[in-house]
């Protein structure tokens, strides 16, 4: 379980607080999305979890331990896929294993199994520039999984994709999650995407962020896009879009 306890944070360059006394919890194995306006601090929440930034006060716990005492408990997939262009797809996937000093033969075995899992077996020796946007995101996701972390921080992984690829990858991601049940924190601008994927949607309304408003998504698994047509889901979608300031110029 991940827990923010009264976290207050401000970037040194900024003259305003980003979050103040923010507390929230994400239970083990949950799929939780965070939505909110651009610049409201969603990526900053991830930067605090993975230790790129430190809170001025308050603490973040994972499994009851302060995160400053832990390493490799979370895997961060940033907004840009950040595959290394000079490495093949296979070499990109091997990176977390290299860092973890996994023996070479085992690396290769794990990378090949993961490439198969994400449907990229034929691309092991290709370079990222030879892949489509959707394939690159699957490769970046595969690399994130190979860190072995049980907490995945996915920052708008599908936002740069065309809508059909995006829908296909949402379904694919849900299947992966239903199989492995890692804890997923997922940032998106897309209200429908958040509803379709999540157990719970957390909405950022205020600045500084003092709380995250939680909306449970009572859809059963496995999910189907048809579920989005349910009147209660339609209603929630319209409500969230309106509250986030959408639909007006
Ligand atoms: N490294 C940094 N140093 C100083 N200020 C930063 C830094 N990173 C982000 N900020 C500021 O903090 C605020 C929140 O940024 P953040 O990236 O967390 O927003 P976001 O909600 O992820 O936005 P988006 O939806 O556009 O990705 C912004 O106003 C941004 O200018
Ligand atoms: Mg961001």
pLDDT in tens, 155-165: 998 888 888 88
Closest residue to atom 6 of ligand 1, CA basis: 11
CB atoms within 10 A of CB 181: 13
| Residues less than 5 Å from ion ligand 2, measured at CB | 42-43
| Contact in structure between 60 and 46 (CB atoms under 8 Å) | no
Q: What's the CA-to-centroid distance between 19 and ligand 2, angstroms?
A: 15
6 belongs to a structural domain: yes
Which phi and psi angles does 214 have, rounded to 5°? -100, 130
Domain boundary among 148, 180, 201: 148
Segments in the chain below pLDDT 50:
none
* Model pLDDT, residue 137: 87
Residues 60 and 174 in one domain: yes
Residues 40 and 155 in one domain: yes
Q: Which residues fall within 8 angstroms of residue 221, CB to CB, at 6 or more apart?
A: 174, 178
**pTM confidence score:** 0.92
Q: Which domain holds residue 165?
A: 2-73+150-243
* Model pLDDT, residue 134: 85
Whether ligand 1 lies within 6 angstroms of the CB of 188 is answered as no
* Model pLDDT, residue 226: 93
Residues 44 and 129 in one domain: no
Domain boundary among 98, 129, 148: 148
222 belongs to a structural domain: yes
Tens digit of each residue's pLDDT (9 = 90 or more) over 60-110: 999 999 999 988 899 998 877 689 999 999 999 999 999 889 999 999 999
Residues 64 and 92 in one domain: no
* Model pLDDT, residue 174: 93
* Model pLDDT, residue 80: 78
CATH number, domain of 192, equals: 3.40.50.300
Domain boundary among 95, 119, 148: 148
């Amino acid at each position: 379980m991940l827990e923010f306890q009264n976290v207050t944070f401000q970037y040194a360059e900024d003259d305003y607080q980003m979050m103040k006394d923010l507390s929230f919890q994400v239970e083990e194995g949950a799929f939780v999305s965070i939505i909110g306006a651009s610049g409201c601090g969603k990526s900053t929440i991830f930067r605090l979890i993975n230790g790129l930034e430190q809170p001025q006060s308050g603490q973040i716990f994972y499994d009851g331990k302060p995160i400053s005492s832990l390493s490799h408990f979370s895997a961060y997939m940033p907004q840009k896929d950040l595959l290394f262009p000079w490495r093949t797809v296979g070499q990109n996937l091997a990176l977390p294993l290299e860092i973890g000093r996994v023996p070479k033969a085992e690396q290769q075995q794990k990378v090949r199994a993961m490439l198969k899992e994400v449907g990229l077996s034929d691309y092991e020796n290709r370079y990222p520039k030879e892949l489509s946007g959707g394939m690159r995101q699957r490769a970046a996701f595969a690399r994130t999984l190979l860190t072995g972390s049980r907490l995945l921080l996915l920052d708008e992984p599908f936002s740069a994709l065309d809508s059909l690829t995006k829908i296909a990858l949402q379904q694919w991601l849900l299947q992966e999650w239903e199989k492995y049940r890692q804890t997923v924190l997922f940032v998106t601008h897309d209200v429908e995407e958040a509803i379709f994927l999540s157990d719970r949607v957390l909405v950022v309304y205020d600045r500084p962020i003092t709380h995250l408003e939680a909306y449970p998504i009572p859809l059963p698994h496995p999910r189907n896009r048809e579920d989005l047509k349910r009147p209660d889901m339609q209603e929630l979608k319209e409500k969230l879009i309106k509250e986030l300031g959408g639909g007006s110029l």
